[in-house]
Chains A and B, each alone.
Chain A
Amino acid sequence: MNPPVEPSRPSSGGHGAVLTAGDLALLGAVLDRLLPGDGTMPAAGDTAAAAAVDRYLAESPALRPPVLAALARIRVAAAGHPDGFAGLDGDGRDGVLRSVETDAPDAFDALLVQAYTGYYSDIVVQRALGLPSPLQPTGYPAMMQAPFDERRLDRVRATAKPWRTA
């Protein structure tokens, strides 16, 4: 097994390895509806999630058909607006996404999995959750050094059924 490749930050613009510049722009807008920011967590568009999804598609060709199909479906569903998905307001965008979720559940789920994966694999998101990012070599040494208080077992020692002889 080859060591996995360390993820890269998003490129400054233009196209990705698999996704066109248009795809990436659409994906960024979609990600912001799937994972909007709130007071604590960043919006997906403020992370490197879109670039990460492009990289996953580059690494795993089998992921491409359903994810590209989901993006194509979103484009078609938003075609009523002259500016497409980007031209819709928040409710309009959510409506488009819901229609694709209903009409093409497998493709939408594939997109959602990659969106969540890109988002929760992002250093900004992990820091917001209080994780060491990456998990190693830091870990949680303080927690591991806490002692085990054996007095917690006093009742069990006194009352547990003994093992059955055989």
Chain B
Amino acid sequence: MAEPGPDGVSAPADVVIVGAGASGAAAAWALARAGLRVVVLEQGDWIDPSAYPQNRIDAERFRQSVFNRDPNVRRLPEDYPVDVTDTPVDPLMFNAVGGSTIHWSGHFPRFRPSDFRVRSLDGVGHDWPLDYWELEPYYEANDAAIGVTGLNGDPANPPRLPRSDRPLPLGAAGEAVVGGLERLGWHWWPSDVAMITAPRDTARAACNGCGPCDLGCPVGAMSSAHVTYLPDALALGAELITRARVRELTVDDTGLVDGVVYYDRDGHLQVQPARVVVLGANGVGTPRLLLNSVSARFPGGLANSSDQVGRNFMFHPVATVKGIFPQRLDTERGPNGALLHSQEFYETDPDRGATRGFTLQVVRHDLPLGLALGDGPGKRLPWGAAHHEAHRALFSHGVTVVVIAEDLPEAHNRVTLSPTETDGHGIAAPKVTYTLSDNSRVLLEHGVARATELLEACGAHTVTVDPFTRVSGWHLMGTTRMGDDPATSVVDRWGRCHDVGNLFVVDGSVFVTSAPVNPTSTIQALARRSADWLIEHFEEVAR
């Protein structure tokens, strides 16, 4: 990349972490607690709690602009565009202190033991180089640190400690859905949700059920990175530099990383030397950064001798099935993304004609404007005399079942650098290339059929289906996968790059397979585990 000289060089850090989202914040806390000098670089800003849309009467409007989940819609200076010309799914993320946990629903299931052994059990994908039991203590520690509502005792999952907060009430919507699940005799359980139902400290109030968690949580009830790990990391001495966009990682003569180059808030180029670099920039941002870090020694991008950086990109393929009920369900009330889930179809069933499975995640419906606007042009509610009747039939009367299928790694699904798009600093944007596999398509078809059956059993009079939802790229995984073999993986079992011994990845990029559940409890557990290993081996691996 053409080289204007840096405007400043900071004092070296023990560890530089790129990204202040779910993974970067968890690692920052653990490393700062161990006494390491940690500098976190985040391209976004803190969000002022008073700025959350729920404080305004026109809250929903901000879904169309600055609080949209899609960086290509927001187009804020802190966002980078994602080239989506070759993907049927839009990658979603938020770029701020807290990362995408600003926008998430906090649905917080764990992987099951079988998810780490899909090759051995089902002959597909790859086994992970670790198992559930190695990760279990980190799941527990992470849950306790951030606060998770729910109920232990689900026979379909390994035992876990009592949750820190009581489960969310079912409400009228939950009662209706449970009625159907009981009639069908399917598994269900109230979701573990990264959220608190009793106040935790002065900065975090209990959830008061205002509704649209995807617009951010103004009261700090959602256990997002900016109200959990980050403030604690800063109190332990970590330094956070906001509006710092990392352009590339630099290497020394021995092939170790010696720091990062970033643009500061004023657009000046800065150098931050480091003994160790940790990437928590998410499943799209991390491969982008590695591919942009080209040098004579690493012409194909950093840590990429295997040509695996950016490959095996997994979303969770999603179908959305909505049921409309004759009775009022109060679905505008309560956290919208996390009601309960069914894991009846989680494991492989040969009769389905596909391997692996799916989760049915039951979520509440929408607020009034979202319902009126529908799913886009041509799908708005009618205008004129028929409008209010159509709106009344939907508002507070709908439940959505989200089918989340397991995606399997495929080398051709990948993140590369866009030949055409750049961010506001002229840095090449990532390009996502993705094709839905036949296996995933069959899983979605089954999921749609089961979700429809469920909604009908619950008493829905109308069921509508989006068989493959475009705006659903919430989970970004697999692009620097973990493994024991440097020829087929980018990082080892500890998240340490095979090619560059003082470079770690702690975000969802390291996933080997995706499991049919939301990833962030596993991302944070892995980040904590990597951090613990790094603390113990710091002097061995640091330059």
Contacts and interface: CB of A to CB of B under 8 A. Distances in A.
Interface string A65-107: 0000000000000000000000000000010010000000110
A6 B253 CA distance: 55
Contacts of B45: 1
Interface residues of A, number: 66
Nearest to B212: A135
Nearest to B219: A136
B343 to A, nearest CB: 9
A156 B58 CA distance: 42
Contact of A146 (B76, B114, B169, B185): B169
Contacts of A115: 383
B327 interface: no
Given A3-B51, A148-B169, A152-B170, A126 B116 contact: no
Interface in B425-456: none
Nearest to B50: A3
A152 B369 CA distance: 34
Q: Pick the most buried of A123, A126, A134: most chain B CB atoms within 10 A of its CB.
A: A134
Contacts of B61: 56, 117, 121
A159 interface: yes
Contacts of B309: none
Interface string B137-171: 00000000000000101111110000000111111
A34 interface: yes
A35 B387 contact: yes
B14 interface: no
Interface string A122-166: 110110010111111111110111111110110111011111111
Interface string A22-52: 0000000000011110101100000000001
Contact of A162 (B151, B156, B387, B388): B156
A57 B283 CA distance: 36
B15 to A, nearest CB: 28
Contacts of A165: 113-114
Interface of B: 45, 47-48, 50-62, 64-66, 76, 78, 96, 112-114, 116-117, 120-121, 131-132, 151, 153-158, 166-171, 178, 182, 185, 187-190, 197, 206-212, 218-219, 330, 332-334, 347, 367-369, 372-373, 377, 380-381, 383-385, 387-389, 391-392, 395
19 contacts: A36-B384, A38-B389, A40-B388, A105-B377, A112-B380, A113-B373, A116-B369, A116-B372, A119-B372, A120-B372, A131-B332, A132-B210, A138-B210, A144-B207, A155-B182, A156-B187, A161-B156, A166-B120, A166-B121
